[in-house]
Amino acid sequence: STYGGNPLACAIGNAVLDRIQAPGFLEHVEQVGQVLHWHLQQLAQKYPQYVVELRGKGLITGIKITPPVRDFVERLRKDQHLLAVAAGDNVLRLLPPLVITEDDVKEAVGKIADAFAALDSEPGNVPPID
């Protein structure tokens, strides 16, 4: 781009590289990605009527769900104050920042669980029989 190589853009790029190359940063990202995956597996076990498949690697995650994904994204935003995006064939996409913490992951997955629980409590939804 015309402004891609300006001094400010280059300084920002260098700052990002410094952060990524800092000792332990990528290991932290890998660890939090594993925590995210574990919590999502627990979510899938708790709500099998809504979670069809888990996709992704590291912190880039997709959750294929049965409710219409765009409506669910809206529910997360309005009711749970959680930003997510819709992708592909009814996939809820999570793209957290690399500086996310394990507590942030727990909070986010808790909000998704709360949104699923709200779906269960709506008239016309029949909870699964154990």
CATH class for domain 7-121? Answer: alpha beta
pLDDT, one tens digit per residue, over 79-104 is: 999 999 999 889 999 999 999 999 99
Q: What pTM does this model have?
A: 0.85
Output 80-88 pairs: Cβ under 8 A, ≥24 positions apart. 80/111, 80/112, 80/114, 80/115, 81/111, 82/108, 82/111, 82/112, 87/62, 88/62
pLDDT at 25 > cutoff 80: yes
pLDDT for res 130: 45
pLDDT for res 10: 87
pLDDT, one tens digit per residue, over 39-82 is: 999 999 999 999 999 999 999 999 999 999 999 999 999 999 99
